Amino acid sequence: MSSTLQSYLEENLTNLKEKGLLNTIDVLESANGPTITIEGKELINLASNNYLGFATNEKMIAKADEATHKYGVGAGAVRTINGTLDIHMELEKTIAKFKGTEAAIAFQSGFNCNMGAISAVMKKGDAILSDELNHASIIDGCRLSGAKIIRVKHQDMEDLEAKAKEATQSGEYNKVMYITDGVFSMDGDVAKLPEIVEIAQKYNLITYVDDAHGSGVMGEGAGTVKHFGLQDKIDFQIGTLSKAIGVVGGYVAGSQLLIDWLKSQGRPFLFSTSLTPGAAAAAKEAFELMHDHPEYVEHLWDNAKYFKAELQKVGFDIGVSQTPITPVILGDEKTTQAFSKKLIENGIYVKPIVFPTVPLGTGRVRNMPTAAHTKEMLDQAVAIYKKVGLEMGLIK
Neighbouring residues of 95: CB distance < 8 A, sequence distance ≥ 6: 104, 106, 239, 251, 253, 287
For 338, the enclosing helix (H) or strand (E) is: helix 333-345
Q: Does some domain include residue 365?
A: yes
Domain identity same for 90 and 117: yes
Q: Are residues 320 and 220 in the same domain?
A: no
Neighbour tally for 56: CB within 10 Å: 15
310 and 265 share one domain: no
Please give the residue range of the domain that contains residue 26: 3-30+294-391
Same domain, 219 and 308: no
- Please determine, for residue 241, whether its predicted confidence score (pLDDT) is greater than 90: yes
List, for residues 327-381, the tens digit of each pLDDT value.
Answer: 999 998 889 989 999 999 999 999 888 887 888 888 999 999 999 999 999 999 9
Residue 238 sits in the same domain as residue 104: yes
Radius of gyration of the chain (CA): 22
Residue 199 lies in a domain: yes
Do residues 298 and 358 share a domain?
Answer: yes
Tens-place pLDDT, residues 191-211 = 999 999 999 999 999 999 999
Q: Are residues 239 and 309 in the same domain?
A: no
d(CA 368, CA 44): 11
Section 315-325 average pLDDT = 93
Judge contact between 87 and 67, C-beta under 8 A.
yes
Q: What is residue 358's predicted lDDT score, i.e. its pLDDT?
A: 84
Give the domain-ending residue among 292, 309, 336. 292
Residues annotated as catalytic are 185, 213, 243
Q: Is the pLDDT of residue 20 over 80?
A: no
Half-sphere CA count of 179, side-chain side, radius 13 A: 30
Q: Examine residue 44 and state whether it is found in any structural domain, yes or no.
A: no
Please identify, among 252, 276, 292, the residue that sits at the C-terminal boundary of a domain. Answer: 292
* 171 shares its domain with 265: yes
Q: Which residues pair with 353 in a beta bridge?
A: 364
Report the side by side order of strands in the sheet with 127-131.
103-107, 250-254, 236-240, 206-210, 176-181, 127-131, 148-152
Residues 6+ positions from 139 with CB-CB distance below 8 Å: 130
Same domain, 242 and 320: no
| Count of the separate structural domains present in the chain | 2
* Confidence (pLDDT) at 355: 82
24 within some domain: yes
Q: What is the CATH number of the domain that holds 25?
A: 3.90.1150.10
Distance CA 169, CA 163 (A): 10
Q: Is residue 41 part of a domain?
A: no
Neighbours of 117 (CB within 10 A): 30
Per-residue DSSP letter, 124: B
- Are residues 341 and 255 part of one domain? no
